[in-house]
Homo-oligomer: A and B are copies of this chain.
Amino acid sequence: MAQMMRAAVLHASGEAPTLTLEEMPIPEPGPGQVVVRIIASGICYTDLHIMHGDWPGKPSLPLILGHEGAGYITALGPGVTTLKQGERVGIPWLSSSCGLCDYCLTGRENLCPHQQNTGFSVHGTHAEYALAQAAYVVRLPNNLDYFEAAPLLCAGVTSYTALKEAEVQAGQWVVIVGVGGLGHMAIQYARAMGIHVAALDINDEKLSLAHELGAEVTINTRYQNPVARIQHLISGAHAIIITATTADAFEKEIGMLRNGGTCVLLGLPPGGFSVPIFDVVLHHFTLRGSIVGARKDLQDALQFASEGKVKAITDIYPLTDIQNVLTQLAQGHIHGRAVLQIA
């Protein structure tokens, strides 16, 4: 008889979705797969998007959510030779990719059109055990515990990759819009790369955190005009990274760029925003979407944390609290990253 595990399962998405804690069989590993005993599982705003069904793409229901799973390997499927039982690994958003398309062949497997995603198209990590592809899990550095590692598996790599996509160099300025789960990590990655940071938020407490993490300029956009401030203080930013989960302010925020600057979007709010063509062309702006990161980006993002340069601020909650935590996240009350303690 199959061994059982507890898992947070979504049965239907919509306006008032609920996650139920259920007993399910522990999965068996197929060829190339591993089973991971999950210890810590981070909660991402994407969990909310999936629950509310506000994305064009739809999840595979019923679904175990979660794509920041940290734990250790308990079972190896046939043909897995590069990992062993007991190894500490992380399970990220990218569950698998085809391995053969143009993107997979050029180290951009996060763009693979045939990819599977953890906690979206396949079961995720808000559960005591999770199934993963051996070639897509990441080894955890020894000096990071599971709770430190979990938020790096999505928030960390997404922030790190966005900075690379922004093509901003040491000594230049980046504006980080939003000091939440993504933003508070982006600040740290930027500082670790020698990049100057201005942080924007509507919450003074979060801006105070931004300052502690190395932001040299902080702007509360409730009281201050960020475009005027940024142009005055630093003559325009070389890059902007927008982590905000709503599209309200995008149009104006582009005005913080200096000529030739780049604005990277990495959140996935529904809706659109209006681009002022004249400004984009005359000032030679670049707008770019950045989606999580590839496996090498994930390894690099963990390496910075392993060297002590980046540390996620986390609050730890029991798995049973998951519904409550998601509610608080939706209301903007989570500072840093919420991580479920599963074991």
Contact = CB atoms under 8 A, between A and B. Distances in A.
Interface of A: 31, 55-57, 79, 82, 99-100, 102-103, 105-108, 110-111, 113, 135, 170-171, 192-194, 247, 250-251, 259-260, 265-291, 294-296, 299-300, 303-304, 307, 309
Contact of A284 (B111, B274, B283): B111
11 contacts: A103-B260, A106-B106, A106-B107, A111-B283, A113-B259, A170-B170, A265-B280, A271-B276, A275-B275, A280-B288, A283-B289
Contacts of A290: 281, 284
Contacts of A31: 79
Nearest to A104: B107
Contacts of A295: 105
Nearest to A309: B194
A24 to B, nearest CB: 28
A310 to B, nearest CB: 11
Given A276-B272, A282-B268, A259 B111 contact: yes
Contacts of A267: 277, 281
B277 A284 contact: no
B277 A272 contact: yes
B171 A300 contact: yes
